[in-house]
Amino acid sequence: DMGYADLGCMGGKDAKTPNIDRLAKEGVKFTQFYSNAPVCTPTRAAFITGRYQQRSGLEWALGFTAEQWRRENGRWIAEPDKYAPGLVPRGNSIAQLLHVLGYRCGIFGKWHLGFQPRFNPTRHGFHDYFGVLTGHADYYKHNYFDGTHVLREGDKEVKAKGYLTDLINQRAVHFINDNAHRPFFLYVPHLAVHFPFHVPDDPAQVLTKENHNKGTRRDYIKMLERVDLGVGQMLTALEKTGNIDNTLFILSSDNGGYYLSDNSPFFHHKSTLWEGGVRVPCLMRWPDRLPKGTTSNQVGITMDLTATILNAAGLKPSKDIPLDGFDLLPIVTGKQKEIDRTLFWRIDREGRKQKSVRDGKWKYLKDDMIELLFDLDQDVAQRHNLNYRHPEVVARLRNSLAAWEAEMDKS
């Protein structure tokens, strides 16, 4: 839920993020990067698989109620919790593929790709896991607001004392130190800055159903700055182990910022397909391969990170299960010119039906019954609807979207 302009390197003014800003200063900053979805679960599914989340049937954030929802044959179906959906292991996750190459794979943080043990990260090729399985939890008690304890070590329930962000940072640092002399893949999906807005160093806070979504901008900033502290701790660990220059370090967000975030200059926020719901920061630092202190206007998306990481590790794409993502390294290293991309999004839920295409400079957005067209080169705030001036573009993108949906619904 980090906002596009919350970071100093992205124009932020009120939060201090020197360690994250260092990634931009010593690496590449993307200005046109997107999450695969406007909420967390589908974006995470896209990252783990390197493919559109629709292929996994996970198009919206998983709930944690008596009934879960899954999509089948173009419609949503309620299922009892014992049949709750999650990301099914198929042998092609990013961790499983890197495992084959001899990488030690660890994940510390929020999973949110299935609560049942059969969906646990350890079933997806991760050797080490510590974190919460659900979409949010008490940062001190590590419970969901119904009282269910959701902290896990591997697939076992575990108790731990401390602020969740600090615990995640500590585990990440230990993992770097423990694997200093072997190739490793470390995935650190912080729960912060997602609600509840529990600030560091104040364990008296109590999570309830009534207060779980209440907070202030200052609370949010304190949470973000503790994430930044962890980035600094990881960079220090890489320095001390001699791996600071040969490690690809990427930071991004799972969707646009929520109501306490700063999504400037974009309109709207999380849970929508307006730019504020899916345009996110992305930073890459890798001194051995990437230029220093550069900005890239290349359009990218979460599943591109999967392709980029796998190609950096030397893995050849599979013909059986091809990636939908795109390797960004040739472009950011200057070996290839920036290219236009065609990317798709969909929300198909009661109360919110949106579909969108980004094609070159054009952003087509179907918001319920209304068709909108924006020239993002001239109008990043999406204030000027051009659909009546360019009906041929609208028709082309509408048809492109229909073809993409047909392919996704067959997957």
- How large a percentage of the chain has pLDDT more than 90? 85
Residue 106 φ/ψ, nearest 5 degrees: -130, 145
Mean pLDDT value across residues 366-376? 95
pTM of the full structure: 0.93
**pLDDT digits over 249-274, tens only?**
999 999 999 999 999 999 999 999 99
319: amino acid identity, one letter: K
Neighbour-count burial of 233, counting CB atoms closer than 10 A to its CB (0-12 exposed, 13-18 middle, 19+ buried): middle
Q: What's the pLDDT score for residue 71?
A: 53
DSSP E strands in 234-306: the ranges are 249-252, 282-285, 294-296, 300-301
Q: What's the pLDDT score for residue 321?
A: 80
Q: What's the pLDDT score for residue 317?
A: 74
Residue with tokens 């940072």: 169
- How large a percentage of the chain has pLDDT more than 70? 95
**pLDDT digits over 80-122, tens only?**
454 468 999 998 999 999 999 999 999 999 999 998 889 999 9
**Lowest model confidence (mean pLDDT) among 15-29, 56-70, 134-148, 345-359:** 56-70
Helix, strand counts (H, E) of the chain = 9, 17
Rounded CA-CA distance 2/261 in Å is 6
Sheet with 156-157, strands from edge to edge, namely 156-157, 151-153, 128-132, 104-108, 184-187
User: Beta 184-187 vs 104-108: how paired, if at all?
Assistant: parallel
Q: What's the pLDDT score for residue 73?
A: 58
- Structural contact between residues 326 and 300, judged by C-beta atoms closer than 8 angstroms: yes
Q: Where are the alpha helices (H) located in 154-269, listed in sequence order?
A: 164-178, 217-240
Q: What's the pLDDT score for residue 6?
A: 96
271: amino acid identity, one letter: S
Active site amino acids:
40, 112
* Chain centroid, CA 24 distance in Å: 18
**Lowest model confidence (mean pLDDT) among 243-252, 265-274, 313-322:** 313-322
- Structural contact between residues 207 and 147, judged by C-beta atoms closer than 8 angstroms: no
Longest C-alpha distance within the chain, in Å?
60
Residue 67 has pLDDT above 50, yes or no: no
Q: What's the pLDDT score for residue 351?
A: 81
Q: What's the pLDDT score for residue 85?
A: 83
What angle, 0 to 180 degrees and rounded to 10, lies between the N-to-C axes of helices 164-178 and 217-240? 10
Helix (H, G, I), strand (E, B) or coil at 366: strand
Q: Return the structure tokens found at 333.
A: 């290293």
Average pLDDT, the chain: 93
Peptide linkage before 89 cis (omega within 30 of 0): no
User: Of 248, 303, 249, 306, which is closest to residue 96 (Cα–Cα)?
Assistant: 306
